[in-house]
Chain A
Amino acid sequence: MDVLSQLQRQLADFLASLYREGFVDDQFTQLQKLQDESSPDFVMEVVSLFFEDCEKLVNNMAKVLEQQVVDFKQVDSHVHQLKGSSSSIGAARIRNVCIAFKTFCEAQNREGCLRCLQQVNHEHAQLKANLQSLFTLERQIVAAGGSVPAMQ
């Protein structure tokens, strides 16, 4: 198998594993479908926006949660935003943590919230690493003369 075919096979397998392990879902496929010649870096741009957003929200939530008196409404509104954006890009695991997170906010459970925040951080780091690998593979394919079609 030549280098290009090997890379393409690697990409397909890697992507399949991301779906299988729930890192991404159909909404991510949607994003890939939106990428085209007029915006070849669309997915990467949107994903970067998401990670920036996520970091900001996590920092804000951490600050609120370390107060003497926690404003759970504020935490909840940040979680709501994170849930929305993770949902928009198909970051399924993060979205799922947000669902649990919201319940803890409603129950005004600080410990539960802190645990969820930790989980969000963890998932954020994992997803970032995974998507970076994905983009690297795609770049290698393009460099080897191949093209990256919209994945089904």
Chain B
Amino acid sequence: MTLVLRFQIRLSYGRATFAPRTSSEQPRSIPQFRGLRVILADDDALNRTVTKKLLEKLGCEVTAVSSGFECLSALSSAENSVRLVVLDIQMPEMDGFEVATRIRKVRSRSWPLIIAVTASAEDNVWERCLQMGMNGMIRKPVLLQGMADELQRVLQRVGEGL
């Protein structure tokens, strides 16, 4: 409970402080996604195709894999060049939570960033995502604007050292 509250306060704080700092900083509307290296993991071919295209539309360079295992191995062979992992939570064999846990065992909390994709409408999914070391969450069906907003939010938080 405390964790969720704290996160929510930080969220609004983050948004509020960004607005005034316009003179020397980048304008808020320019997304910093061009060339962003992403690994997308989703076992469903259709969802994978759509989400990959969506991320590419936003400027990302995407490697799409179909399982948690493939995700971990793609990440280790890419060394440090992958900035973001977009992870479907509901995957057979190894679900998104487990993938995130394994990633965080050997990597810092902000590199790579991890965004979960879930079909679940349950409130405590976000808490679980945070506990597993994820940085963001997006609900299915994935929309272009929704993904852009969440990507921006997650990158901004890292930029502010939160």
Contact = CB atoms under 8 A, between A and B. Distances in A.
Interface residues of A, number: 19
B28 interface: no
B8 to A, nearest CB: 27
Contacts of A53: 45-46
B49 A84 contact: no
Chain B interface SS verdict (over half): helix
Contact of B46 (A30, A34, A36, A89): A89
A49 B140 contact: no
A46 B44 contact: no
Given A34-B53, A34-B54, A42-B53, A50 B46 contact: yes
Contacts, number: 44
Interface string B34-47: 00000000001111
B158 interface: no
Nearest to B49: A46
B110 to A, nearest CB: 29
A2 interface: no
A140 interface: no
Interface in B69-128: 119
Interface in A10-38: 27, 30-31, 33-34, 36
Contacts of A27: 141, 143
Contacts of B46: 46, 49-50, 53, 85, 88-89
Contacts of B11: none
B4 interface: no
Contacts of A31: 50
Contacts of A39: 53
Nearest to A39: B53
Nearest to B146: A30
Contacts of B140: 84, 87-88
A85 B54 CA distance: 16
B143 A85 contact: no
Interface in B7-23: none
A34 B45 contact: no
A31 B53 CA distance: 9
Interface of B: 44-47, 49-50, 53-54, 57, 119, 140-144
